[in-house]
Amino acid sequence: MRRASWVAGAVVLAFLAVFFGWPVASMLWRGISSDSGIDLTGYGEVLASARTWQLLANTVGLALAAALGAVVLGVPTASILYRRRVPGGALLRGLITVPFVLPTVVVGVAFRALLGPTGPLGWLGLDGTTFSVVLALVFFNVAVVARQVGSFWRGLDPRLAEAARTLGASPTRAFLTVTLPQLVPAIVASACLVLLFCSTAFGIVLTLGTPAPGTLETEIYTQTTVFLDLRTAAVLSTLQLLIVVATLVVSARLNRRTESRLKLRDNPELPLGREDVPAAVIAAFTVFGLELLPLATLLIRSVRVDGAWSLHNYAALASSGDGFSGGVTVLAALQHSLQAAVDATWISLLFGIPLALLLSRRVRGVAAAGQRVLDLAIMLPLGVSAVTLGFGYVVSLQAVAPQLAHSGTLVPLAQAVVALPLVVRSLVPAMRAIDPRLRDAAATLGATPWRILRTVDGPVLARALGIGAGFAFATSLGEFGATSFLASPERATLPILIARLLGRPGGDNYGMALAASVLLAVICGTMMLLSEYLRPRSARTTIGGAW
């Protein structure tokens, strides 16, 4: 059984090497190669440019601001939704997760509808500003903090804080001196994940307007598609990769500390108390103001045409939009997206399940070190620019099969690579929560390794598959960066077509983009709400520790 596990791990690594490592390496190779061989002058030129460091500072600054905002709003929200008994608590936990799995293009469209000149908050003058980008990034990532910190917080032993209260400490002092120090690893780990996701939120920045001077990812896109300067793009991709690796190392170390704590207890939800009022106010603002208001605005604007209620924008989805000569219709693009997402989901599950089983085993020594390296490798696709990945396919296949890169065949594979880390992160905490003594007892009673896998691990794995499949499907459905390079014109996906509609003048095009974004949001949101509802209570604490 152990040998089979490592063989499965080797197969997954081979998959990542071919469909992730090779394209990314081909792209990065352009930064150090020339016709005469190795040439590092490109690094010297790019790193010596003041613009490069401005791009780096702007990327990190946006990510840090969004991470801070997500922590400030996410921690109080976690306190209410995961520790207190509130009406519709399960529904609210599902709702705050929906924005995280929404396509980044949809998030950008929603905030344009909210903050634009004709939007309900247009009077604030935030449309096209850096603050609007940060606000959208917080909207997108606050669920990461709320879920991870909330699940960890729920597993803490409450008797320490109760003892402090008994000794005369106020609720605030008990939180600051007893609870908060215990929460720090979970808070920092979730903030690292937010930093990771914010550094690659290409679709949000693209649709809301690139804040000057831009970000590393927007510059990579510009250098590859506009200037065809692969050397500069490769150097910038290397900088982004270094940031990703450093973030992942810190996050992985802190995550190991939180996972061990999550197994200690599953404390019951308590009624709201007077000391919960400040946190409840922040949680209400987060759920209803930050999370639901942009989505409600998107829905309302999609059914308003010339000041009247109308379904014209939805009826127009059977066309390809004004100003387009031919091309796929919006409904056809939705069909292409659904087909690719289904394929990407089963591919990611096919490789994610054996990988989760391997990473969840309690091992020591060399095997434990191998687990950590494998875990880090699995997370890389989340942080590497999807633009780098997509153009990497084009570059790597240029001499071998140039038609394949633009045929659309590789779209599900690229989307599966991006979704695989989310599948693994959804399954591993649930598998690690299984008491190893159960496996030992089954083996003592004569069960074979395969029977132990089927009877002990299988039921837990089956319950966790719902959330893994939901994340994979929603992520694949909204993937934009890599798909924009790989999808053929006649097989364009819906996020790509939405971006095209936004780039074309005309009221019908904008209205269709709104309606198409609502369709994507409804599909993704329904998938995640079903996953949250179908997942049993006993699995929610452990799985939530990762996301």
Specify the range with the lowest mean pLDDT, choosing from 186-195, 338-347, 458-467: 458-467
Q: Does residue 321 or residue 180 have the better pLDDT?
A: 180
Report the pLDDT averaged over residues 62-69.
93
Q: Does residue 277 or residue 253 have the better pLDDT?
A: 277
> What was the pLDDT predicted at 527?
82
> What was the pLDDT predicted at 77?
95
> What was the pLDDT predicted at 263?
46
Whether residue 370 is predicted with pLDDT greater than 80 in this model: the reply is: no
Task: Give percent of the chain with pLDDT exceeding 70.
Answer: 91
Q: What rounded mean pLDDT belongs to the chain?
A: 82
pLDDT tens profile 508-544: 888 898 999 999 888 888 887 777 666 544 444 333 3
User: What tokens does 383 get?
Assistant: 């942080």
> What was the pLDDT predicted at 323?
67
Type of residue at 35: D
Report the pLDDT averaged over residues 102-113.
85
Whether residue 143 is predicted with pLDDT greater than 60 in this model: the reply is: yes
> What was the pLDDT predicted at 237?
85
Specify the range with the lowest mean pLDDT, choosing from 41-45, 358-362, 409-413, 503-507: 503-507
124: which DSSP letter? G
Specify the range with the lowest mean pLDDT, choosing from 61-75, 140-154, 187-201: 187-201
Q: Distance between CA atoms of 54 and 335, rounded to whole angstroms?
A: 41
Report the pLDDT averaged over residues 245-266.
62
Report the pLDDT averaged over residues 181-208.
82
Q: Does residue 270 or residue 200 have the better pLDDT?
A: 270
DSSP H stretches of helix in 310-362? 312-315, 330-359
Q: Distance between CA atoms of 97 and 91, rounded to whole angstroms?
A: 10
User: What tokens does 260 get?
Assistant: 């061990």
Task: Give percent of the chain with pLDDT exceeding 90.
Answer: 18
> What was the pLDDT predicted at 266?
60
> What was the pLDDT predicted at 44?
84
Whether residue 81 is predicted with pLDDT greater than 50 in this model: the reply is: yes
**Which bin fits 327, alpha (ψ -120 to 50), beta or left (φ > 0)?**
left
Q: pLDDT grade, residue 129 (50/70/90)?
A: confident
309: part of which helix (H) or strand (E)? strand 308-309
Q: pLDDT grade, residue 1 (50/70/90)?
A: low
Q: pLDDT grade, residue 416 (50/70/90)?
A: very high
Residues 201-214 as b/e (b if ≥16 CB within 10 A, e otherwise) read bbbbbbbbebbeeb
Report the pLDDT averaged over residues 394-417.
83
> What was the pLDDT predicted at 92?
85
Q: Distance between CA atoms of 282 and 418, rounded to whole angstroms?
A: 32
| Residue 84 DSSP SS3 | strand
Whether residue 168 is predicted with pLDDT greater than 70 in this model: the reply is: yes
Whether residue 41 is predicted with pLDDT greater than 70 in this model: the reply is: yes
496: part of which helix (H) or strand (E)? helix 494-502
Report the pLDDT averaged over residues 296-313.
90
Report the pLDDT averaged over residues 112-118.
87
Kindly report the pTM of this predicted structure. 0.81
